[in-house]
Amino acid sequence: SQQGEEDPQALSIQEGENATMNCSYKTSINNLQWYRQNSGRGLVHLILIRSNEREKHSGRLRVTLDTSKKSSSLLITASRAADTASYFCATDATNAGKSTFGDGTTLTVKP
Amino acid sequence: NAGVTQTPKFRVLKTGQSMTLLCAQDMNHEYMYWYRQDPGMGLRLIHYSVGEGTTAKGEVPDGYNVSRLKKQNFLLGLESAAPSQTSVYFCASQGGDRNQPQHFGDGTRLSIL
């Protein structure tokens, strides 16, 4: 079974709006990572947040982590058409030795 | 700097044929991974390696074998291809610290007829 599950499965917004997607997981983790995948391409790393961190920023991206709720959120501010992609969370579970990916959120940003 | 390179990019096989997918990384990373991605889904881990000469099973290892004879290369083999193995296969590498990101290749699109 998937460790990380993203919500919503699909999100459609207008350019300039903010996009928020969530990831829930089941077991304790070392870190949680967010990746972007453009159509037909491999995944590109966006942000890694460690279990002892609560928030990280990178440009227009903001990631939060709530280990008590076993959840994370990715916020993209002032979205652009180029942000259209699928976004995946990956959890590095404690003592698992590997990361597990969710099924992703497909984001469409309309010009 | 090429990063992670997968060959081939596309391949069509007949049921029962065998083939090997090659992943090469030039970042001197310890960890390497093979995933498969089916339409509309996330990545499922097939096999992984935490160093040269080591391999381990992931979530969906059946029907696949791997080898890591050299640190920079991770090979994925299909001994007898089945239609259920039609998928996009991604390789990734990661430095020797699990708090490092994974770097992905662009994938191999494999169809089994």
- A4-36, pLDDT tens digit by residue? 788 899 999 999 999 999 999 998 999 999 999
pLDDT digits (tens, 9 = 90+) for B73-98: 999 999 999 999 999 999 999 998 88
**Across the interface, which of B48, B90, B101 has its CB nearest the CB of A33?**
B101
pLDDT at B2: 73
Strands A71-76 and B19-25: unpaired
pLDDT digits (tens, 9 = 90+) for A35-74: 999 998 999 999 999 999 999 999 999 999 999 999 999 9
A99:B105 CB<8 A: no
Structure tokens at A19: 């996009």
Greatest CA separation for chain A: 44
Task: Report the candidate in A15, A38, A28 with the shortest Cα–Cα distance to residue A104.
Answer: A38
CA-CA distance, B76 to B20, in Å (whole number)?
6
Confirm if A33 and B103 have CB atoms less than 8 A apart.
no
Q: Which residue has the higher pLDDT, A1 or A13?
A: A13
pLDDT digits (tens, 9 = 90+) for A71-83: 999 999 999 999 9
Structure tokens at B96: 């020797």
Q: Is the pLDDT of residue A86 over 50?
A: yes
B8 three-state secondary structure: coil
pLDDT at A1: 44
Specify the DSSP class assigned to residue A14. E
Q: Which residues of A touch B40 (CB under 8 A)?
A: 103
Q: Which residues of B touch A33 (CB under 8 A)?
A: 101-102
pLDDT at A46: 97
Strands A19-24 and A71-76: antiparallel
Report, as an integer, the average pLDDT of A79-102: 89
Amino acid at A89: C
B102:A45 CB<8 A: yes
DSSP assignment of A43-110: EEEEEEEETT--EEEETTEEEEEETTTTEEEEEE-S--GGG-EEEEEEEEETTTSSEEE---EEEEEE
Residue B72 has a CB neighbour count (10 Å cut-off) of 16
Q: Is the pLDDT of residue B1 over 80?
A: no
Q: What residues are paired with A50 via a beta bridge?
A: A31
